[in-house]
């Protein structure tokens, strides 16, 4: 199964994601979830980015929070709303929201 997971919270525990299994996993960071793409705590990036997945962050949510999309972690691709629609329609069979 190809699973797309929307992450909208920064203080998400990775435990929930650890229980999900998929042949292809995409994590789409939206709302406050975009902080995973840019914030470092104690010099370390978010542990969420250690998952084996494709990562995306919604540009509009990055910019709303004053985060320059060009400065996010290299493992995360900044995407716009149209790109998210393409991901939903073309790349992932099932979707979840955390």
Closest CA to 39 of 16, 12, 15: 12
Query: How much is the pTM?
Result: 0.91
Determine the structural domain holding residue 22 and report its residue range: 2-97
- Total domain count, the chain: 1
10 pLDDT band, cuts 50/70/90, is confident
Task: Using the predicted structure, report yes or no on whether residue 13 has a pLDDT greater than 80.
Answer: no
How high is the pLDDT of residue 66?
96
Could you give the angle at the alpha carbon of 54 between the alpha carbons of 80 and 37, nearest 5°? 65
Q: Residue 12: what pLDDT?
A: 64
Mean pLDDT score, 25-36? 95
């Amino acid at each position: 199964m190809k699973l797309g997971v929307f992450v909208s919270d920064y203080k998400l525990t990775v435990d929930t994601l650890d229980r999900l299994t998929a042949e292809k996993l995409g994590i789409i960071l939206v709302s406050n979830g975009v902080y995973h793409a840019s914030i470092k705590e104690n010099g370390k990036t978010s542990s969420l980015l250690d998952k084996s997945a494709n990562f995306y962050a919604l540009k509009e949510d990055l910019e709303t929070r004053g985060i320059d999309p060009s400065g996010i972690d290299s493992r995360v691709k900044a995407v716009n709303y149209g790109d998210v629609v393409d991901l939903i329609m073309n790349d992932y069979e099932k979707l979840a929201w955390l």
